[in-house]
Amino acid sequence: MAAPALLPGNRFRAYRGAGSPLVYHFVCLATSITLTLTNSYEDATVADCDDPTGIPERRSVLTSRSWGGRIAGQIAADHLDEFRADATGDTAVPYQFRIDPKDGQGAGAWSGKVFVENFEITKSNNGIVAFTSQFRGDGPLAWGAWT
């Protein structure tokens, strides 16, 4: 049996988009990235019309898709203004989450716009200031090649 090719952590990265034309910049100090895709369903209990005394079965119907996640790590002082603007703005911000395997198999990126639900900065024991940013996707999350 062949061993699986594991994806190193530095091969899953977050990028923040800005400008016109849109350019994505690496969120370089994000040491923890979570991207969550969620499907919501409505359920119905459906009887078998050919077996009226049979036990009905649940059927699920996809009603919506959503996505969100969080990024966390050490705060870069020269990017604090961007994070603060994202957290206080009322416009969704473009983000990209790249998968970049060494062998190129499965490479690509999810791209979409996010609203920041919360932004937290913290320090402990007079150490490096850290951040956590929880976000929710706004609109579709597209998968495709990145350049």
Phi then psi for residue 9, to 5 deg, are -55, -30
H or E element in which residue 63 lies: strand 57-74
- Tokens (6 digits) for 54: 């049979």
Angle formed at CA 75 by CA 125 and CA 98, multiple of 5 degrees: 135
Q: What is the DSSP string of 79-120?
A: GHHHHHHHHH-SS-EEEEEEE--TT-TT-EEEEEEEEEEEEE
What's 147's DSSP letter? -
pLDDT digits (tens, 9 = 90+) for 80-128: 899 999 999 999 999 999 999 888 788 999 999 999 999 999 998 888 9
pLDDT digits (tens, 9 = 90+) for 51-82: 999 999 999 999 999 999 999 999 888 888 99
**pLDDT of amino acid 132:** 96
Q: Which domains, ranges and CATH numbers included, belong to the chain? A: 13-37+70-144 (2.30.110)
Residues 28-51 have a mean pLDDT of 95
Residue 131 one-letter amino acid = F
Residues 6+ apart with CB under 8 A from 76: 28, 29
Residues 124-143 have a mean pLDDT of 94
